[in-house]
Amino acid sequence: MTLSSPSEFRELFEGERERLHRFLCHLTGNRADAEDLVQETFLTVWRKRDQFEGRGSAAGYLRSTAFHLYLNARELKLRRASLAPEPVETFAPAAEQELEHEDAVAFLIARVRAALAALSDESRDAFVLFRFEGLSCAEISALSGAPVKTVETRVRRATIELAERLKPYRDELLRRDPR
């Protein structure tokens, strides 16, 4: 597929928009930021369509562009955050037995998100792409430019660190409901 005609580009948009949005939601952790990046990705690909040489798939080119735009947006966010005053962190109280199931699930999801956020950017990106997006280490390597062994190490370290950070919640859950 080339990207030279509007009809081919529309076909790419319609075929990949939802998948790209999900991909960026996993990376950003935020639907609004993901939607902004989806729009920016398609705009960038359209503007630079003459640079797509047809080597590889148009979907892969799109995903690579999205990943690089995400990295740029993350860097900009980090620079802006370094200029802002430190926010005061608040912690949700421990889940108690009388909490509704939905509240307990929301609490655990928040802990998982916090544990993910505490990972280094490189480890978090590799873990999210591997576990949530189902990409292989070779595909992540191609996206990020890091060697495959480095990606494998990042995924392994992220898995170990997440397990360690989430262990208290797992132990508490098993203690309350040992199914």
Residue 39 above 60 pLDDT? yes
Q: What is the mean pLDDT of the chain?
A: 82
CATH 1.10.1740.10 corresponds to the domain 6-83: yes
User: Cα separation of 93 and 139, whole Å?
Assistant: 40
51-77: per-residue pLDDT in tens? 877 777 888 888 989 999 998 888 888
CATH topology of domain 101-176: Arc Repressor Mutant, subunit A (1.10.10)
22-32: per-residue pLDDT in tens? 999 888 888 99
Which residue type does 153 have?
T
Q: Quick one: which of 67, 60, 17 has its CA closest to 42?
A: 17
Question: What would the mean pLDDT of 154-168 be, rounded to a whole number?
Answer: 92
Alpha-carbon torsion 56, 57, 62, 67, what sign? negative
The SS3 call for residue 2 is coil
User: Cα separation of 173 and 112, whole Å?
Assistant: 14
The pLDDT of residue 99 is 45
The pLDDT of residue 5 is 78
Residue 142 above 60 pLDDT? yes
User: Do the beta carbons of residue 92 and residue 110 sit within 8 Å?
Assistant: yes
Q: Where are the chain's structural domains? A: 6-83, 101-176
User: Cα separation of 70 and 98, whole Å?
Assistant: 40
* Position with higher pLDDT, 102 vs 110: 110
Please indicate, yes or no, whether the overall pTM of this predicted structure exceeds 0.75.
no
